[in-house]
Chains A and B, each alone.
Chain A
Amino acid sequence: MASLRLPRLIRPSGRRLYSGAASPSSRLNLPIDYKTTPLLHHTSSTLSESLELPGSTTSKSMNLYQAINSALRTALAKSEKVMLFGEDVAFGGVFRCSMDLQTEFGSERVFNTPLTEQGIVGFAIGAAAQGMKPVAEIQFADYVFPAFDQIVNEAAKFRYREGATGVHAGGMVVRMPCGAVGHGALYHSQSPEALFAHVPGVQVVVPRSPSQAKGLLLASIFEHNNPVIFMEPKCLYRAAVEHVPNEYYTIPLSKAEILKPGNDVTLISYGQPLYLCSAAIAAAEKALGVSVELIDLRTIYPWDRQTVLDSVKKTGRAIVVHESMVNYGVGAEVAATIQDQAFLRLEAPVKRVAGWSTHTGLQYEKFILPDVARIYDAIKQTIEY
């Protein structure tokens, strides 16, 4: 696998010049304008209320990789137990997330490992079991599978099998860039969150924005003694820019966020597709005169069922949106839970807008993954059911 890995060629940028390019006649599938989307804090004024920060908080405008870098710097400075490692982490990382951290914190705490994913995660488990807080990086989520055994059989089950000895691997976080970038094809596009969500013992987190990424990453490192799979949508690394608090702050895991209140239908998503949802909602509210509630799950597992159920009980309709394949995806769990717990309130079948059950062939990405048109259509169909 290594010889085929081409990390430096994957350059997410604000300009999506490749397969994401819109059709000349598009009204729905337009490129996401991250500079105007309501999902990002374009000024610092909205920040403090939404994150429940003290008024004195200062902030700085940064993109997602800079926010991750800021979170890692904050974590390394806060505790000597935090260490950061993976492939090519020392020089700053292929996505620049660990820029300057080795210089600041030394090669004992920030370092390269040999090119072995099962080794990286096994190493992290051992260090965590000894009380450290290792933050391991898997260069692409597509390459986490060699470490699947270490995550599923070892990290997730460590506390359970140790029982009364009290030993656990809860201090570890495994970060990995995930999701499509327009030209990542089969092995630079995957979102394997559903595979991990089937595993009791790990927490699976997907942030949607720079400020959220920093708060969720710091919470994953310091406020939860469980192994965390932290998936960073790589197409947002450079594209999503917003104000991020400079200081230490956390956002609780296993807690969803209502991004936009609404009354007629609930849209549930996480990570990058939230921007597509937001655009689709704007179009649907204008064209169809409906009111849509948008929920960011933030933590895929264990997930905040209550927030979702409360919303669906209010609206009576639900749509789940994610990039990864529809079959046995996160949407299946969310839809089944809604069906089970809000059956009498449902006025339409729960819809899933997700990747088709195929692989992300290079030329076909824009036809395979959910886009604004498909989400818009789902809202329309659900409302008109």
Chain B
Amino acid sequence: MSAHLLRRISRNPRALSRIPQRWSSSISQRPGSDRVRFPGAVNSKFTTDMTFINPSETTNIPTYRVMDSDGVLLDKNRKPSGVSNEEILTWYKNMLTVSVMDVIMFEAQRQGRLSFYMVSAGEEGISVGSAAALTPDDVVFAQYRETGVFQQRGFTLKDFMSQLFANCHDNGRGRNMPVHYGSNYPRMHTISSPLATQIPQASGAAYALKLESLQNPDTPPRIVACYFGEGAASEGDFHAGLNIAATRSCPVVFICRNNGYAISTPTLEQYRGDGIASRGVGYGIDTIRVDGNDIFAVYEAMREARRIALSGGGKPVLIEAMSYRVSHHSTSDDSFAYRARVEVEDWKRRDNPIIRLRKWLENEGLWDEDTERTTREQLRKEVLKEFGEAEREKKPPLREAFEGVYEELTEEAQEQMKELKRILETYPEEYDLRQFKDGINGL
């Protein structure tokens, strides 16, 4: 079929006239060359050795770390460069805040006080450490287990609680499930549940930033940071997003949180290559694997990735941050149905980004048992205070159910709002509007 069609093309003068343009950009084979000059692989050497590349025989990509699990720097002479002790203490407190909030909110969900929650246990180092290397002008696309990114970039406890309780102060206007946070500035796009959809979007946003700085050289250099798990990396959108970022030279840093599980699916059932990092190389993307429990390694890798992303007019970078999902996937999941409790307990005890940094801080004389206790207690109080206030707040007015679908309310939507109002007025005993701001008048 296709050969026949090709003959038809070659007989078609209009198709022919287009072909020379193609030729002018391709490379012809030189006689006697030792390299293949096919346009699809211009620098490939000929070989008479018929060898299939066997991935199991290649060395796995190493994991970059700065300190060991006892919080001791591997290169004693080198402190994490360019960061003050005060800053590192903020990172620690931010990780602690996420961790304290996680415990309280998980419990609150168990009590039925909010509909859903997802903790970040074991991955606080990845989110806080990477976000610390961003500027407020950088743009973030996240998956959902990046609470630390929001915390590090100034999302307040009130912001978190308003979103979790979907009350009238929620940026999402009470429309999204809990932990689907979002903020205009620093821009962290509102999280959406479909996995990996944010990856090609991040490439497009990064391309927009690049165009913007080309068109207006006064704008500060900015990157997009895009987070996702190793499970999401199996989606077609991962492939699309990385490939398009590479071909369009987009200033975007992809950060994969490889925590060993996608809900119940272990990585052995997720992929057979060398993790996610090995794929970055295939797309022609600068790639590094880091120890995600080592906040210094994550920070340094992200800072350098940001620099690379802005170099040479823009280029994408992939960071694979290794960790272990200590917690259940979500409040709807009991992970002991598919993994041994002892494995989880072992990880909790053996290695953890918070304890690792705490050990470093204690070795430096910057932290001690008392400070730990009082800080935890203080954070607990603050979380509970905002929790209580957010829980008591009214829900957004009912019209928010219809607004925001389009820029303006359609005539159809206005009609449906009127109809809903009529129903609410006719059957007032069927609907409880007390929780909603302005009650029926909110429609």
Comparing B92-100, B237-245, B366-374, the segment that makes contact with chain A is: B237-245
For window 207-255 of A, CB contacts with B under 8 Å fall at 224-226, 254
Quick check: is A91 within 8 A (CB to CB) of the other chain? yes
Quick check: is A38 within 8 A (CB to CB) of the other chain? no
Chain B interface, >50% SS class: helix
Instruction: Please count how many residues in chain B sit with their CB below 8 Å of the partner chain's CB atoms.
Output: 59
Quick check: is B170 within 8 A (CB to CB) of the other chain? yes
A116 engages B207 (CB within 8 Å): no
Q: Which residues of B contact A163 (CB under 8 A)?
A: 170-173, 175, 182, 190, 400, 404
Partner of B15, one of A8, A122, A134: A8
Q: Contacts A146-B236, A163-B172 given; indicate if A302 touches B204 (C-beta within 8 A).
A: no
Closest A residue to B169 using CB positions:
A164
Quick check: is B63 within 8 A (CB to CB) of the other chain? no
Comparing A66-74, A123-131, A258-266, A348-356, the segment that makes contact with chain B is: A123-131
For window 14-51 of B, CB contacts with A under 8 Å fall at 14-15, 18, 21
Q: Which residues of A contact B404 (CB under 8 A)?
A: 159-160, 162-163
Q: Give the docked Cα–Cα distance between A259 and B367 (Å).
A: 78
Comparing B77-85, B380-388, B407-415, B426-434, the segment that makes contact with chain A is: B407-415
CB distance from B436 to the nearest CB of A (A): 16
Quick check: is B405 within 8 A (CB to CB) of the other chain? yes
Chain A window 154-195, contacts with chain B (Cβ cutoff 8 Å), 1 for yes, 0 for no = 100101111111111010000000000000000000000000
Q: Give the docked Cα–Cα distance between A128 and B211 (Å).
A: 12
Q: Which residues of A contact B190 (CB under 8 A)?
A: 161-163, 165, 167
Interface centre among A127, A163, A224, A225 (most CB of B within 10 A): A163
Q: Contacts A9-B5, A163-B175 given; indicate if A126 touches B202 (C-beta within 8 A).
A: yes
Q: Which residues of B contact A11 (CB under 8 A)?
A: 14
Interchain Cβ contacts within 8 Å, total number: 173
B139 engages A130 (CB within 8 Å): yes
For window 389-409 of B, CB contacts with A under 8 Å fall at 400, 404-407
Interface centre among B172, B175, B214, B406 (most CB of A within 10 A): B406
A129 engages B189 (CB within 8 Å): yes
Quick check: is A24 within 8 A (CB to CB) of the other chain? no
Q: Give the docked Cα–Cα distance between A127 and B209 (Å).
A: 8
Q: Which residues of A contact B205 (CB under 8 A)?
A: 126-127, 129-130
Q: Contacts A9-B8, A91-B18, A127-B204 given; indicate if A119 touches B243 (C-beta within 8 A).
A: yes
A126 engages B208 (CB within 8 Å): yes
Chain A window 116-142, contacts with chain B (Cβ cutoff 8 Å), 1 for yes, 0 for no = 101111111111111110100000000
A166 engages B184 (CB within 8 Å): yes
Q: Which residues of A contact B139 (CB under 8 A)?
A: 130
CB distance from A151 to the nearest CB of B (A): 11
CB distance from A105 to the nearest CB of B (A): 12
Quick check: is B217 within 8 A (CB to CB) of the other chain? no
B197 engages A150 (CB within 8 Å): yes
CB distance from A304 to the nearest CB of B (A): 9
Q: Give the docked Cα–Cα distance between A163 and B180 (Å).
A: 12
CB distance from B152 to the nearest CB of A (A): 18
